[in-house]
Chains A and B, each alone.
Chain A
Amino acid sequence: MSAKKDLIDRDDDDINPFEDDSFVPQVTPGLKPFEPELQDITLETTREAPQPAITTGKASIFSKLSPYFQVDETTLKQKLITALKLGELKSLRDPESQADAQLDLYSTVWITATVIMVLFLSYSGKSVIGSLITNSFSDVIDFQIMINCLFLFYIYVLGVPILAFLICKFVFKEPFDVITAIDTYGVSNVVWVPIGFISVVTGLVGPFENIIEWVLVAIGGAYSGGIIYIQLKNVVTELQNGKVLLLAMIGVHILFTLLVRWIIL
């Protein structure tokens, strides 16, 4: 045993069974040696309710994203009405703080989800109405269409602004307001909600069904394109290569409109 260890043992009055070779445990008959006293220990046998995980990484992600989802009901209504009236959303900006109170991701996420649901409802609703009229089960509804629709809308709403941002950053070397663009693309989709509901009844029109659906899609595409143009024209025209970007965005929007027609409406 080293001298240092001996010094430590000398300072300690208690016998250290791990260091002192002469230590012999005293066993009382009828009792197990070294039996732990369980009665004083609180056993963690129940699944405790999770504590507020403010310091964890997951909570910090929610905390970081949370401000974009904290939306005021009145502001949201004003925002949708302004967009539908083809007004500029920047007019809703707080005049004192110049803060973009209307900027959020809540509307993008949930308006897009609403549009997907309404379009699927209109697609499947035609079969349900058909069953009621003809008293026979109509065509089998393809559930896959809802998933295709989901991918189409979310890729368009998130993909185009992010792609534009990346092109501006790495090719044009210019700044691009990606959050405003995502917000605008999300809000522009609100146009598809009434169109989805109207298209439910197109199944009743008979031979004109196809023409009416093309007209509805054209109106939806033009209206949503108009909303995007009005909101983003200032952002895009400020760029040196803004015209190229604008033309690309218009082209992608036309393609998106055609895909809506072919996939779901």
Chain B
Amino acid sequence: MDTIEPDFIETETGNGYGSTLSTSARGTLDESIVSTFKRDFHEINDKLKKVVYPHFPLGSPSAQDQHVFQGTDLWAPLCFIILYSLFLSKGRGRFSSFFITCWLVISAMATHLKLLNPHEPMSWMSYLSLAGYCMFPQVINSLACSIILPLFNKIPKVTLIRLIVIARIVSFALCSSWSIISMWKVSKSQTLVQKYPLALCLVTLGWLSVIC
């Protein structure tokens, strides 16, 4: 036979939030690479809307959102960590240090949440995925601090270093607060014991953008 049959028949499930749960549906062989990338991008965007986009931290996650949080998608965390490490290393050969540090930090966050909630339906991988999604504000922070703000330093005859440093600190404060609040919300952390380690990990990642 000349034709390639799809691996399985994909049923259309039209929920209003896209197909965040059907991540493994990317196994189809009869679609173009562009379609696969488009679908993955939309899935990541759908989950980001629920986890870190600004409208979310102001509200509370619904039961449907909670189901989405249980997904174990690591595509987006991998992309975010690669981008974060690329922005910070700026080709100075420190990519691997940042890459490993990021994975260690989000693993520590996932382990902390799993140790405090061992009987919750969320698996360690789900927590890892959530922590990775909460890296998104830190990617913006690293882009601002390492790529965009240094451009102002290239303006001739003007020394703006003080302003650049202050802008970096402001960016760090805003983006870190954003990711910390998102992480607290999605992990349903209530007490200081639960919240503090998450905040510490995300502040560490944010601070690296200020100094590197």
Q: Which residues of A contact B (CB under 8 A)?
A: 38, 43, 45-47, 49-54, 58-59, 62-63, 65-66, 69-73, 76, 106, 110, 113-114, 117, 120-121, 124, 127-128, 131-132, 135-137, 141, 143-144, 147
Contacts and interface: CB of A to CB of B under 8 A. Distances in A.
A132 B165 contact: yes
A225 to B, nearest CB: 25
A30 B112 CA distance: 60
A261 to B, nearest CB: 21
B116 A69 contact: yes
Contacts of B200: 110, 113-114, 117
Contact of B115 (A46, A47, A69, A117): A69
B39 interface: no
Nearest to B100: A147
A143 B208 contact: yes
Q: List 7 tightest A-B contacts by C-beta distance, closest first.
A: A49-B70, A50-B123, A47-B24, A69-B115, A66-B118, A124-B211, A62-B118
Contact of B119 (A45, A52, A73, A106): A52
Interface SS majority for chain B: helix
Given A62-B115, A113-B197, A117-B204, A141 B24 contact: no
A47 B161 contact: no
Q: In the complex, which of the residues B9, B118, B204 has the most CB atoms of chain A within 10 Å of its own CB atom?
A: B118
A135 B121 contact: no
A144 B97 contact: yes
Contacts of B147: none
Contact of A147 (B97, B204, B212): B97
A38 B120 CA distance: 34
B71 interface: yes
Interface in B107-127: 108, 112, 114-116, 118-126
